[in-house]
Amino acid sequence: MAEIKTLVALVPEIDPLLGPGRGLLEGGAVFGCYAQGPLFGALGPGREPSIRADGPDEALARIRDGQELTCLELRGPSLGAQLGDLIDQTDRRTVMAIVSPSALAFLGYGISRGAGGPAARASAADVLPTLAQVGEFFLDGKIEGAVLFEALLNPNFKQAQIAKLRAALDRLERMLRRDNREPWDKHDCA
């Protein structure tokens, strides 16, 4: 199973990113009623500084190097362009959480397109459990939030992946058993 990487992008404001037709976040789940709070409490003590990246290039390098969770703070007038470049440069196995003081958005692998809405509720404590559910990493600290199943494409995401892998393994084993026979056993040429 290919590893799924997760990225948390902290932005000062999410409204300009939505634009007409939801703009950059069109393919994601947006939660308009967002309650701020400690975002990285579930990671455990002292782990937050190790996931922070200094810029988009460092964040992308960490994702490519296999770091399971990366955090990046985006600022400046070209926020939309920065985030657009980041979305374009991440691979299809990356899940992003875009966190602002007023809203939260998820997009990427395993996220339902168009889920959530202006009245959908979420809190800062829900971000890491949701990313851990999709990204398959463990949280060491005290978990106060819940997985936002509304944002997920399939609530039984992991079970579906395991079923696909089992089916592929069965096909492979059948093919190997068939190919390990002697040539005269493969054909019924009496």
Residues 38-88 pLDDT 10s: 677 666 666 666 777 777 888 888 888 878 888 888 887 777 777 778 878
Mean pLDDT, the chain, rounded, equals: 76
Phi-psi region of 89 (alpha: psi -120 to 50; beta: other; left: phi over 0): alpha
CA 39, CA 128: separation in Å to the nearest integer? Answer: 7
CA 156, CA 174: separation in Å to the nearest integer? Answer: 27
Q: Give a yes or no: residue 134 inside a domain.
A: yes
Q: Give a yes or no: residue 169 inside a domain.
A: no
* Residue 73, domain CATH: 3.40.720.10
Q: Give a yes or no: residue 176 inside a domain.
A: no
> Of the spans 20-29, 32-41, 85-94, which averages the highest pLDDT?
85-94
Q: Give a yes or no: residue 186 inside a domain.
A: no
Q: Give a yes or no: residue 71 inside a domain.
A: yes
What is the signed CA dihedral for 61, 65, 66, 72, rounded to 10 degrees? -20
Q: Give a yes or no: residue 91 inside a domain.
A: yes
Beta strand 29-35 with 104-108 is: antiparallel
User: 10 Å Cβ neighbour count for 93?
Assistant: 14
What's the token pair of residue 113? 């397109």
Instruction: State the pLDDT at residue 183.
Output: 66
**Residue 1: pLDDT band by 50, 70, 90 thresholds?**
very low
Phi-psi region of 135 (alpha: psi -120 to 50; beta: other; left: phi over 0): alpha
Q: Is 90 exceeded by the pLDDT of residue 167?
A: yes
Percentage of the chain surpassing pLDDT 70?
A: 76
Number of C-alpha atoms within 13 angstroms, CB side, residue 151? Answer: 30
Instruction: State the pLDDT at residue 79.
Output: 75
Q: Give a yes or no: residue 13 inside a domain.
A: yes
**Number of domains forming the structure of the chain:** 1
CA of residue 128 relative to chain centroid, distance: 10
| pTM given for the model | 0.70
138 or 130, higher pLDDT: 130
Q: Give a yes or no: residue 175 inside a domain.
A: no
Region 155-179 average pLDDT? 83
Instruction: State the pLDDT at residue 169.
Output: 93
Instruction: State the pLDDT at residue 47.
Output: 65
pLDDT digits (tens, 9 = 90+) for 76-131: 777 777 777 887 887 777 888 888 887 788 888 778 777 777 667 788 888 888 88
Region 159-174 average pLDDT? 88
Select from 148, 140, 144 the least CA-distant residue to 48: 140
Q: Is 60 exceeded by the pLDDT of residue 19?
A: no
**Residue 21: pLDDT band by 50, 70, 90 thresholds?**
very low
Whole domain around residue 28: which residue ranges? 5-153
CA 75, CA 17: separation in Å to the nearest integer? Answer: 13
